[in-house]
Structure 1
Amino acid sequence: MDETGGVSYKHVLVPTDGSKAAKRATEQAVELVKESNGTVHALYVMDMGDASFVAIPSDIKETRQRLEKKGRAFVNEIEEQAEESGVNCVAVVKSGIPENEIVEYVHENDVDLVVMGRRGRSDPDKPLIGSTTKRVLGQTDIPVRVV
Structure 2
Amino acid sequence: MAKHVLVPVDVSSSSESAFEYVLEETPSQRITLLHVLNPVTIFNYPTAEGFDYGKAEKNEQERREDVEQIFERYRNKDAARNRRIETAIEAGAPAEKILEYAERTGVDHIVMGNRGRSSLEETLLGSVARGVLKRSAVPVTIVP
Q: Same-fold call, TM > 0.5?
A: yes
Which of 108, 112, 122 matches 2:108?
Answer: 112
Higher relative contact order (CA 8 A, sep 6+): 2
Query: Match for 1:76: what amino acid?
Result: E
**Which string of whole-angstrom CA distances, capped at 9 and with x for unpartnered residues, describes residues 67-119 of structure 1?**
21222222222222377441111011121111111001111111111111111
Ranges in structure 1 where 5+ consecutive residues have no aligned partner: 1-7
Q: Is the 8 A contact 1:79 1:91 kept in 2?
A: no
C-alpha distance after superposition, 1:17-48 (max 9, x if no partner) = 11000000000112244x24x21100001111
Shift of 1:66: 2.4
Question: Is 1:144 aligned with 2:140?
Answer: yes
Q: Is the 8 A contact 1:51 1:60 kept in 2?
A: no
Amino acid paired to 1:23 = E
The 1:51/1:141 distance shift into structure 2, 3 A limit, reads farther
Change (3 A) 1:93 1:145: same
**Given residue 80 of structure 1, which amino acid in structure 2 is its aligned partner?**
N
Correspondence for 1:17 = 10
The letter of the residue matching 1:57 is F
RMSD: 2.3
SS at the partner of 1:9? coil
TM-score, normalised via structure 1 length:
0.80
Of 91, 95, 116, the residue aligned with 2:91 is 95
Unaligned runs of 5+ in 2: none
Q: Deviations over 1:99-141 (max 9, x none)?
A: 1110011111111111111117xx3666111111111112212
Residue of structure 1 aligned with 2:51, choices 48, 54, 57: 57
Query: Taking structure 2 as the reference length, what is the TM-score of the superposition?
Result: 0.82
The residue type equivalent to 1:29 in the other structure is: V
Identity percentage over the alignment? 26
Aligned partners of 2:78, 2:139: CA distance in 1, in Å? 21
TM superposition outliers: structure 1 runs of 4+ over 4 Å: 49-52
2:34 aligned residue (34, 43, 47) = 43
How many aligned residue pairs are there? 136
**Per the alignment, do residues 31 and 83 of structure 1 end up closer, same or farther by CA in structure 2, a change over 3 Å counting?**
closer
Which deviates further from its counterpart, 82-91 or 47-56?
47-56
